[in-house]
Structure 1
Amino acid sequence: MVLRDIASTPAHAYKASTDDLEAIFSTIAGSIISSISDAEVTDPLGPGFDIMPDAGGDPLFNADGQSVGVNFAAGEASYDALSKTISWNVGALSAPITVESQPYHYERLTYRIEINDEILDPSVARFTRNSDGSGTAAADGDFYRTNGTTTLTYKNAAGLAAAPMNFPIPVVNPIFLKVIKILQDADGNVITDPELSFAIRVRNDATNPEYDRTFNLKSGESVTTTDLRPAASYIASETLHPDYYVSYEINGSTGSSFSVIAPSGSPLMDSGQGDIELKVFNKKKIQPGSLTLTGSKTLLGRQLQQNEFTFRLYPANSSGDISGALLQSTQNAADGSFSFAPILFTVAGTYYYLIKEVPGSEIGMTYDGSEYLITVTVTVVNGVMQPQITY
């Protein structure tokens, strides 16, 4: 009690065993040697950044903003979630360090941050990065400030309040993923369909992905995500629609996979990799068209009977010569009409067919030996094969 009463503050009175003396003497030495006392650091996070848990997944601050982590050795730290500001009463500088053969004392507070969707707000300032890791404001910059103005206030060796000091503000280049859905008609023209939605999946492993997200987008829609974390290879895929083909572009090149490169160096620097733009195209499939070739048979001299005459359909060339095996056979109805089964067309072009009657063996019957060349021109109209007949 006597020591506490005569100490300048209660914190400067010590009661300890021999095992504690080294730590106490180090703290006292730091107070004597240091030209900084009563140091306080105010450290606001930048817009678009949050504090992450420690490496073990434990929070650094509880719901009341009090530190529960092990991210600093001396003083007291708290966090105001509303302003996203860390306040650190440093206390005495007692951790020894040698810089260029000179002994110093210091303290360090460390924490990890991650980006959130607030960083996508156009009002968030952008920067280019300087050689010292700080940034210069630039509207087209790819870097963002991780912190606001971080300030140190303290008393100097004479016990007087010194001018506040600002720490350098680091900038980082986060990698965003932008997914864009583009819908096209069969001719490649961009179209919209407000009723049609596509499920686009992005993951970094086919069997046990650490990152696995599905984006449901309609034609003309896009989404930008800030949660690409693992440095890994990623693959994009889409639930197939029966009426559309699907293709992919990554940053303007055909493909459905991309990689995120890990930071490297000492001190750790981002890889300089740019953002990822994934375009997913859906092109309308050309619907097949069909055509039914028909004809009629006229019989002179008596009543025509059903199935009395047979007609055959062959592939041909433009000269009317048969160019392949028999395609179809059919017979006449009672009224003399006949028709072949519908012919399906899946490719545009010009096709030739030959129709001829099969001569019978009835005595006194003269059979028609005419051959009829049919020209079919197939074009694509509004995504559907349209066959047109020319005789």
Structure 2
Amino acid sequence: MTFWVLIFIVALLIAAFLCFALLHNRSGEKPSAAYDLEVYREQLAGVDKDLARGVIGEADAERVRTEISRRILAADEQMKKGNAESGPSRAVSIISVVVIALILIGGATALYDRTGAVGLPDMPLTARLELAEEVRANRPPQNAAEQLATPPQPAQLDESYEALLNQLRETVANRPDDLQGQMLLAQHETNAGNFKAGYTAQKRVIELSGDAATADAYADLAEMMILAAGGYVSPEAEQALTEALNRDRRHGPARYYWGQMLAQVGRPDLAYRMWVQTLQDSPSGAPWVGAIRAQIDELAFRAGVFNAPDLSTAAGPSQEDMAAAAELTPEERQEMIQGMVNQLSDRLATEGGAPEEWARLIVALGVLGQGQRAIDIHKEAMQVFAGNSEALGILDAAALQAGIAQ
């Protein structure tokens, strides 16, 4: 309450100052015409002195008096007119004060409602960072989060699919060491909306895989746990993401969920950097790219980035474009594909892109029968990513797929 009283008093003081400035009667100020009148009167007196000393003749003195008198009349008329039109009316000034006061009070209230928190004490950056670390270290575990989360609605399954799923459950229960069976069970339980059963089976997949468990396996485990917790990234899910990133530091889904975890524990600044870098390294059509673009503006605001580039629009064809393409003739579809390939080529040439995007362009050119152009693009990409063995491997694989490998 004290805060709002203080805000109200400050707003009143500002409004009072504006009211005084707008309504103050400037009676002590002289218009410029008044100064002109003083000068002209002095000039008129000077004419009489010059005539008495014999500097000028009577005819010249009369002519000068006439001209000065004309100027005096004009200045007097101007001064009277200026006094009549000395500023806006009192009603207009009062209305202006009220409008300005409302804008100040309303704007300040709206801004604080957006960015402030009543009753929250001043918190320096070091304290904020320490609080974020404390939140991260002491946040609820997976089981507690699942109990607090809204239970996911089970998917409406076809009878035949549900029968096959029950049969798969029975088979896996009788053969718990069957890696392929556990993989299928994890996938289909997740598809059915049974996320806890899905990540339970995925844990068994990782156990059976041992050291051969891939980044995808750990990222899938984390995603299933996050879905089971209603979008919350628990410490257990964070550990799975850590294992995924240890195996592939550029794994797109793992980086997306890692950024989500950072945002949840109070580090939107780190989350924003992670997501921006992920967007730069990922193919434009990747599923996680759309999820990042949908949230990047809000995250930038939370991170205090107010000059962020527009990253909310995705490149590539939309669902409407794909639907329209299905109705085109083969010739029209070929022309549309060629246009998309040219657009991708121009963007990579001017803005650059991830190795996967260069690889997609090389493969597309090979499919279109433009082998020489694919070779040129491949050579250019090899120069761009020289020294990056992982990127060079992606480009060589694309060249092989495009039929231009040498």
Q: Do they fold alike, i.e. is TM over 0.5? A: no
Give the number of the structure with larger relative contact order, counting CA–CA contacts within 8 Å between residues 6 or more apart. 1
Structure with the larger strand share: 1
TM-score (norm 1): 0.21
Larger relative helix fraction: 2
TM-score (normalizing by structure 2): 0.20
